[in-house]
C-alpha cells in the first residue's frame, strides 16, 4: 500500500460527527457523569424512516431491549443490554442517528435545611410588599413547578393548585396516559396523574411562588393568588433521569395545548440541574419557548463560575431562559451559589421560609429557593400586565437593584426587585435594546444589528424605528415592520471608500407617544491591500517526493507591490520555502518537500 502525505494551507476542513465513530475520549467523558445504566437518548435524522429496535441492533452489541419515543418530541429512549464506552461509540456510527447522549441523572439544587423561624426576609428584600399594592396574583396564569412534586393538600397551597377542568392526556414512559378531571398535575416517573411530593423540595419551591397570602396563617407566596401545576420527575432522594425531565417539560407543553386559557402555563420553575449540557434538554426548552413559556432555572450550588464550567439547564442559550443566583440578607452572593456572566440575576436564596411536607413549614437555602422567587415574580407581573415571554423576561432583568455583591458576578449585576418590575410593566413606556450593540466590519462590507423594541403598561402593537448618525456613504435601514416585543434587524451597508474609524448610530423607537433609544457602534476597518486564496487548498503528495500548492493574490486599493507567502504550522518532516509573488503577478506555487 502506498503512503501519502497531505499538505494543508490556510484552510480548515470540517466533517460531520454523525454517522462516524465517536472519539473514545469523548465517549468516556460523557459516561463519567451520573446516568441510568445502559440507557441512551437518541435523535434520528429527519430524513430517516420511522426507526425500530432492529435498526440499531447491529450497533448496540446485539442487546437492544427497548426503543420508544419520549413524549411528543423528536427524541427516543434506547435501553440496551449493556452500556459503556464501546456501546456508546458504536451507536454513534449508526447512519441515521443524528445525536446520542446517556440518560443523565439530574438532581435538585438544595444545600441546607435550617430551623424554621417564620421569617420571610426574601420577599421583603425584593420589595414584594410594595408590589402587592399593585397586584396580588391571579389564577388565570399557571406556573409549572417541575420538581419532586408538590404536597397539593398542604393547607397553605391547596387553594392555589391547578386542577384539570376536564380529562386530559400526556405521553408517559409506556404510551399515552389519560388523566381524569380534577387531576392536580403529572408524575413523569410513574406515568400517573398524581404528582405528590415525597421529598419536600418541590413543596418548598411551590410555597415561595404561591403560598396563599393574607389568609392569617403560614407564609405568603410572592403571588398570593396563583395557579400552580405540579409536575414530578425527581424522586424521594431528589434525583431523576434526563428522559423523565424531557417527559415533564413535554407534558407541560401538551397540557397548555389541550386546555388553552384553562391552563395558560406561562412560567416553568426549574430548581435543579447538572454539570455539562444536553442537546435533548435544550430542544425541550426551545419547545417551551415556542409555547410562550418562561423557563426559570437555578444557577447551581457548587460556588462555580458558570462561564467556565457549564451548569444545565441554567446555561441554556434559549431566549426564554432566566438563570438565577442566590443572595443573602446583606445582598451578597451566597457562599454556595454559582455565578458568572451567563447567570442573569440574583434573588434571595438563604434561609428562606416556605411550605413543606405534611402541612409543615421549613427554612431552606439554595439557588433552588432563589429560582421560585423569580418565577413567582413573573407570575405576579402577568396578573396585571400583558407581556409575551421576551417582554416578561426584559421587565424582570431591567428592574433589578444593582448591588456590589453581584457586580461582575451576573449579567445584570443586580438582585430581583419585584416592585420595580411591576411598575415597569404597569407604567406606559417604550424600551429598545440591541444584541450586540457593537459590530466590526471592513469598508465595503455590510452588517446587521438585532433590536428588541418593547413597551410597558399597555403600550403594545407596532411602532417605528429611525436610524440617525450614519456618516456619508453608509446606509442604515430597518428590515420589515416594527412590532413590540419582536426582534427586528437594522441592516447597515458601507462602500469601499468609507473611511476607517468608529461611528455611533442612534436607533430611536417611537411607540404611541413614547420613545426609547439605543446606541449602535460600528467599527470600520480599512480594506486590506490584498487577499490571499489557495486555489488547490489540499494536495496529495507521495512520501519522499515534492509537490505544489497553487496560490492566488487579489490586490486592492491601488496596491501594486510584491507579496510574500510564508507557510506556517507544517507537520514534522514537511518543509516549504516562502513564495514571493512579484509586482504584476497574481499567482504562484508553493513547493512542498
Q: What is the mean pLDDT of residues 113-139?
A: 78
Please enumerate, as own/partner, the contacts of 127-133 that have beta carbons within 8 Å and a separation of 24 or more: 127/417, 127/418, 127/419, 127/420, 128/222, 128/377, 128/380, 128/418, 128/419, 130/419, 131/377, 131/380, 131/418, 131/419, 131/421, 131/422, 132/213, 132/224
- Whether pLDDT at 536 is above 60: no
Would residue 147 show up in a list of annotated catalytic residues for this protein?
yes
- Whether pLDDT at 558 is above 70: no
Matching residue, cell 415592520: 481
Predicted confidence at residue 52, as pLDDT, reads 74
Q: What is the mean pLDDT of the chain?
A: 88
- Whether pLDDT at 9 is above 80: no
Would residue 244 show up in a list of annotated catalytic residues for this protein?
no
Predicted confidence at residue 320, as pLDDT, reads 97
Q: What is the mean pLDDT of residues 431-451?
A: 90
Residue 434 · residue 417 · CB < 8 Å: no
Predicted confidence at residue 157, as pLDDT, reads 97
Predicted confidence at residue 112, as pLDDT, reads 37
- The distance from CA 240 to its chain's CA centroid, rounded to whole angstroms, is 20
Predicted confidence at residue 18, as pLDDT, reads 36
Give which of 309, 316, 251 is closest to 280, Cα–Cα. 316
Predicted confidence at residue 6, as pLDDT, reads 29
Predicted confidence at residue 33, as pLDDT, reads 79
Predicted confidence at residue 469, as pLDDT, reads 94
Give which of 477, 470, 507, 473 is closest to 491, Cα–Cα. 477
Predicted confidence at residue 283, as pLDDT, reads 97
Torsion angle defined by CA atoms of residues 305, 309, 314 and 317, in that order, rounded to the nearest 10 degrees = 110
Band the pLDDT of 114: cuts 50, 70, 90: very low
Band the pLDDT of 507: cuts 50, 70, 90: very high
Residue 525 · residue 441 · CB < 8 Å: yes
- Whether pLDDT at 228 is above 80: yes
Residue 517 · residue 509 · CB < 8 Å: yes
Band the pLDDT of 5: cuts 50, 70, 90: very low
Predicted confidence at residue 117, as pLDDT, reads 32
- The strands making up 321-327's β-sheet, listed across from edge to edge, are 186-187, 225-232, 137-147, 265-270, 294-298, 321-327, 345-348, 414-415, 401-402
**44 - beta bridge partners?**
97
Report how far residue 457's alpha carbon sits from residue 234's, in angstroms, rounded to the nearest whole number.
38
Would residue 72 show up in a list of annotated catalytic residues for this protein?
no
Q: What is the mean pLDDT of residues 136-141?
A: 95
Task: Look at residue 418 and give its three-state secondary structure.
Answer: helix
Report how far residue 63's alpha carbon sits from residue 40's, in angstroms, rounded to the nearest whole number.
13
Matching residue, cell 487548498: 537
- Whether pLDDT at 348 is above 80: yes
Lowest mean pLDDT among 329-338, 345-354, 503-512, 555-564: 555-564
Band the pLDDT of 537: cuts 50, 70, 90: low
Matching residue, cell 446517556: 102
Q: What is the mean pLDDT of residues 159-183?
A: 96
- Whether pLDDT at 14 is above 70: no
- Whether pLDDT at 75 is above 50: yes
Q: What is the mean pLDDT of residues 483-503?
A: 91
Report how far residue 485's alpha carbon sits from residue 420's, in angstroms, rounded to the nearest whole number.
19
DSSP string, 379-414: HHHHTT----HHHHHHHHHTTPEE-GGGTTTSSS-E
Residue 342 · residue 412 · CB < 8 Å: no
Of 35, 60, 147, 365, which one is the catalytic site residue?
Answer: 147
Give which of 163, 397, 130, 161 is closest to 259, Cα–Cα. 163
Residue 434 · residue 449 · CB < 8 Å: yes
Matching residue, cell 408517559: 172
Give which of 420, 437, 562 is closest to 130, Cα–Cα. 420
Task: Describe the crossing of helices 389-397 and 418-426 by its angle, rounded to 10 degrees.
Answer: 130
Phi-psi category of 381—alpha, beta or left, where left has phi over 0 and alpha has psi -120 to 50?
Answer: alpha
Sign of the torsion angle spanned by Cα atoms 39, 252, 266, 213: negative
Predicted confidence at residue 535, as pLDDT, reads 63
DSSP string, 504-531: EEEEEEEETTEEEEEEEEEEEEPPPSEE
Give which of 500, 435, 453 is closest to 474, Cα–Cα. 500
Predicted confidence at residue 49, as pLDDT, reads 56
- Whether pLDDT at 447 is above 50: yes
Band the pLDDT of 539: cuts 50, 70, 90: low
pTM exceeds 0.85 for this model: no
Cell of 493: 451597508
Predicted confidence at residue 231, as pLDDT, reads 98
% of residues, the chain, pLDDT over 90: 58
Q: What is the mean pLDDT of residues 149-178?
A: 96
Report how far residue 227's alpha carbon sits from residue 213's, in angstroms, rounded to the nearest whole number.
13
The total number of residues shown for the chain amounts to 593
Of 243, 280, 368, 399, which one is the catalytic site residue?
Answer: 368
Predicted confidence at residue 62, as pLDDT, reads 66
Task: Describe the crossing of helices 201-210 and 367-382 by its angle, rounded to 10 degrees.
Answer: 30
398 vs 265, more confident: 265
Report how far residue 551's alpha carbon sits from residue 10's, in angstroms, rounded to the nearest whole number.
10
Q: What is the DSSP letter of 157?
A: T
H or E segment and range at residue 476:
strand 475-479
- Whether pLDDT at 2 is above 50: no
Give which of 119, 271, 294 is closest to 201, Cα–Cα. 271
- Whether pLDDT at 360 is above 60: yes
Band the pLDDT of 544: cuts 50, 70, 90: confident
**511 - beta bridge partners?**
514
Band the pLDDT of 442: cuts 50, 70, 90: confident
Lowest mean pLDDT among 171-180, 184-193, 442-451, 556-565: 556-565
**Residue 5 C-beta-side C-alpha neighbours within 13 Å:** 17
Torsion angle defined by CA atoms of residues 520, 523, 524 and 526, in that order, rounded to the nearest 10 degrees = 180
Q: What is the mean pLDDT of residues 536-546?
A: 68
Band the pLDDT of 553: cuts 50, 70, 90: confident
Of 35, 94, 201, 395, which one is the catalytic site residue?
Answer: 201
Task: Describe the crossing of helices 367-382 and 418-426 by its angle, rounded to 10 degrees.
Answer: 20
- Whether pLDDT at 113 is above 50: no
| Integer angstrom CA distances of residue 225 from 85, 139, 212, 344, 536 | 50, 6, 6, 27, 69
- Whether pLDDT at 16 is above 50: no
What does the pLDDT look like over 374-430, one tens digit per residue?
Answer: 999 999 999 988 889 998 999 999 999 999 999 999 999 999 999 999 988 888 888
Amino acid at each position: 500500500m502506498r503512503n501519502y502525505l497531505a499538505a494543508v494551507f490556510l484552510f480548515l476542513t470540517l466533517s460531520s460527527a454523525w454517522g462516524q465513530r465517536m472519539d473514545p475520549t469523548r465517549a468516556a467523558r460523557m459516561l463519567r457523569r451520573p446516568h441510568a445504566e445502559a440507557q441512551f437518548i437518541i435523535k434520528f435524522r429527519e430524513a430517516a424512516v420511522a426507526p425500530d429496535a432492529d435498526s440499531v441492533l447491529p450497533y448496540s452489541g446485539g442487546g437492544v431491549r427497548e426503543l420508544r419515543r419520549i413524549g411528543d418530541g423528536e427524541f427516543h429512549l434506547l435501553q440496551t443490554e449493556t452500556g459503556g464506552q464501546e456501546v456508546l461509540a458504536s451507536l454513534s456510527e449508526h447512519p441515521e442517528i443524528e445525536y446520542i447522549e446517556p440518560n443523565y441523572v439530574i438532581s435538585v439544587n438544595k444545600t441546607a435545611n435550617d430551623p424554621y423561624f417564620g421569617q420571610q426576609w426574601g420577599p421583603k428584600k425584593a420589595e414584594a410588599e410594595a408590589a402587592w399594592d399593585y397586584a396580588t396574583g391571579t389564577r388565570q396564569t399557571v406556573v409549572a413547578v417541575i420538581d419532586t412534586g408538590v404536597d397539593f393538600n398542604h393547607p397553605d397551597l391547596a387553594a392555589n393548585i391547578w386542577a384539570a377542568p376536564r380529562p386530559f392526556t400526556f405521553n408517559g414512559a409506556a404510551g399515552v396516559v389519560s388523566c381524569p378531571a380534577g387531576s392536580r398535575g403529572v408524575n413523569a416517573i410513574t406515568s400517573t396523574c398524581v404528582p405528590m411530593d415525597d421529598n419536600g423540595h418541590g413543596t418548598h419551591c411551590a410555597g415561595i411562588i404561591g403560598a396563599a397570602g393574607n389568609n392569617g396563617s403560614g407564609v405568603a407566596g410572592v403571588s398570593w393568588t396563583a395557579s400552580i401545576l405540579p409536575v414530578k420527575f425527581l424522586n424521594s432522594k431528589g434525583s431523576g433521569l434526563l428522559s423523565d425531565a424531557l417527559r415533564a417539560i413535554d407534558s407541560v407543553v401538551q397540557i397548555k395545548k389541550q386546555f388553552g386559557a384553562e391552563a395558560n402555563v406561562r412560567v416553568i420553575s426549574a430548581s435543579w440541574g447538572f454539570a455539562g449540557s444536553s442537546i435533548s434538554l435544550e430542544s425541550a426548552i426551545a419547545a417551551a419557548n415556542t409555547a410562550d413559556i418562561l423557563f426559570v432555572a437555578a444557577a447551581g450550588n457548587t460556588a462555580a463560575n458558570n462561564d467556565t464550567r457549564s451548569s444545565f439547564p441554567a446555561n441554556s442559550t434559549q431566549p426564554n431562559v432566566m438563570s438565577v443566583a442566590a443572595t443573602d440578607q446583606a445582598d451578597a452572593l451566597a457562599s454556595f451559589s454559582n455565578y458568572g456572566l451567563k447567570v442573569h440575576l440574583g434573588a434571595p436564596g438563604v434561609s428562606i421560609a416556605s411550605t413543606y411536607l405534611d402541612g409543615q413549614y421549613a427554612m431552606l437555602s439554595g439557588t433552588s429557593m432563589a429560582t421560585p422567587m423569580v418565577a413567582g415574580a413573573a407570575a405576579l407581573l402577568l396578573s396585571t400586565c400583558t407581556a409575551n415571554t421576551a417582554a416578561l423576561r426584559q421587565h424582570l432583568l431591567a428592574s433589578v437593584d444593582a448591588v456590589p455583591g453581584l457586580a461582575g458576578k451576573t449579567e445584570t449585576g443586580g438582585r430581583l426587585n419585584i416592585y420595580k418590575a411591576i411598575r415597569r410593566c404597569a407604567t406606559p413606556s417604550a424600551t429598545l435594546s440591541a444584541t450586540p450593540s457593537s459590530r466590526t466590519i471592513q469598508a465595503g462590507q455590510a452588517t446587521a444589528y438585532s433590536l428588541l423594541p418593547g413597551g410597558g403598561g399597555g403600550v403594545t402593537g407596532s411602532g417605528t424605528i429611525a436610524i440617525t448618525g450614519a456618516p456619508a456613504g453608509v446606509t442604515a435601514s430597518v428590515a420589515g415592520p416594527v412590532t413590540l416585543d419582536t426582534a427586528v434587524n437594522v441592516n447597515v451597508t458601507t462602500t469601499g471608500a468609507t473611511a476607517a474609524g468608529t461611528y455611533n448610530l442612534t436607533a430611536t423607537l417611537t411607540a404611541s407617544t413614547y420613545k426609547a433609544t439605543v446606541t449602535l457602534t460600528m467599527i470600520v476597518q480599512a480594506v486590506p491591500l490584498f487577499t490571499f486564496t489557495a486555489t488547490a487548498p489540499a494536495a496529495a503528495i507521495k512520501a519522499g517526493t515534492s509537490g505544489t500548492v497553487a496560490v492566488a493574490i487579489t490586490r486592492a486599493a491601488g496596491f501594486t507591490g510584491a507579496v510574500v507567502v510564508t507557510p506556517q504550522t507544517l507537520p514534522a518532516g514537511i518543509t516549504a520555502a516562502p513564495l514571493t509573488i512579484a509586482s504584476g503577478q497574481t499567482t504562484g506555487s508553493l513547493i512542498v518537500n
